[in-house]
Amino acid sequence: MTTTDALSSLSTPSLILDEGRMLRNVDRLRQHLDPLGVTIRPHLKTVKSVEAARHVLTGGNGPATVSTLKEAEVFAAAGVKDILYAVGIAPQKLPRVLALRATGCDLTVVLDSPEQATAVANASREAGDAIPVLIEIDSDGHRSGLRPDDPAVVSIGRILADGGAALRGVGTHAGESYGAVGAEALAAFAERERLAAVTAAEALRAAGLPCPVVSVGSTPTAHFARDLSGVTEVRAGVYAFFDLVMAGIGVCTPDDIALSVLTTVIGHQKERGWIMVDAGWMALSRDRGTANQAVDQGYGLVCDIEGRVLDGLVVASANQEHGVIALRSGSSASLPDLAVGTQLRILPNHACATAAQFDGYEVIPADPAQPMAYWPRFRGW
Q: Are 98 and 131 in contact (CB under 8 A)?
A: yes
Q: Does 266 bind a second copy (CB under 8 A)?
A: yes
Distance CA 286, CA 290 (A): 12
Residue 188 or 282 having the CB closest to a second copy:
282
Spell out the alpha helix ranges (H) of 216-361: 219-224, 244-248, 281-284, 351-355
Q: Are 85 and 110 in contact (CB under 8 A)?
A: yes
DSSP 328: P
Among 2, 5, 11, 369, binds a second copy (CB under 8 A): 11
Residue 38 or 372 having the CB closest to a second copy:
372
Residue 38 or 243 having the CB closest to a second copy:
243
Distance CA 158, CA 227 (A): 30
Distance CA 29, CA 192 (A): 19
Distance CA 215, CA 135 (A): 10
Q: Does 352 bind a second copy (CB under 8 A)?
A: yes
Shortest Cβ distance from residue 6 to a second copy (Å)? Answer: 14
Residue 42 or 232 having the CB closest to a second copy:
42
Q: Are 258 and 26 in contact (CB under 8 A)?
A: no
Q: Judged by CB under 8 A, which stretch of 56-64, 196-204, 223-231, 337-345 contacts a second copy?
A: 337-345
Shortest Cβ distance from residue 251 to a second copy (Å)? Answer: 18
Q: Which residues have a Cβ under 8 Å from the Cβ of 320 and sit 6 or more positions away?
A: 280, 281, 282
Q: Judged by CB under 8 A, which stretch of 27-35, 75-83, 84-92, 365-373 contacts a second copy?
A: 84-92
Q: Does 359 bind a second copy (CB under 8 A)?
A: yes
Q: Are 47 and 358 in contact (CB under 8 A)?
A: no
Residue 30 or 143 having the CB closest to a second copy:
143
Q: Judged by CB under 8 A, which stretch of 190-198, 208-216, 354-362, 364-372 contacts a second copy?
A: 354-362
Q: Are 330 and 217 in contact (CB under 8 A)?
A: no
Shortest Cβ distance from residue 135 to a second copy (Å)? Answer: 12
Q: Does 278 bind a second copy (CB under 8 A)?
A: yes
Among 3, 7, 13, 201, binds a second copy (CB under 8 A): 13
Shortest Cβ distance from residue 145 to a second copy (Å)? Answer: 8
Distance CA 157, CA 160 (A): 5
Shortest Cβ distance from residue 268 to a second copy (Å)? Answer: 7
Q: Does 276 bind a second copy (CB under 8 A)?
A: yes
> Per-residue x/- mask for a second copy, residues 127 to 166, rule CB under 8 A?
-----------x--x-xx----------------------
DSSP 253: -
The number of angstroms, rounded, from the C-alpha of 72 to the middle of its chain's C-alpha atoms is 15
In the chain, the amino acid numbered 114 is: P
CA 336-340-343 angle, to 5 degrees, is: 75
Among 131, 180, 216, 265, binds a second copy (CB under 8 A): 265
Shortest Cβ distance from residue 222 to a second copy (Å)? Answer: 17
Q: Which residues have a Cβ under 8 Å from the Cβ of 111 and sit 6 or more positions away?
A: 88, 89, 117, 120, 133, 135, 136, 156
Among 93, 154, 202, 296, binds a second copy (CB under 8 A): 93
Among 42, 157, 163, 175, binds a second copy (CB under 8 A): 175
Chain residues binding a second copy by CB under 8 A are: 11-14, 45, 67-68, 87-93, 96, 111-113, 115-116, 119, 138, 141, 143-144, 175, 264-269, 272, 274, 276, 278, 281-283, 285-288, 319-322, 324, 339-341, 352-353, 356-359, 379-381
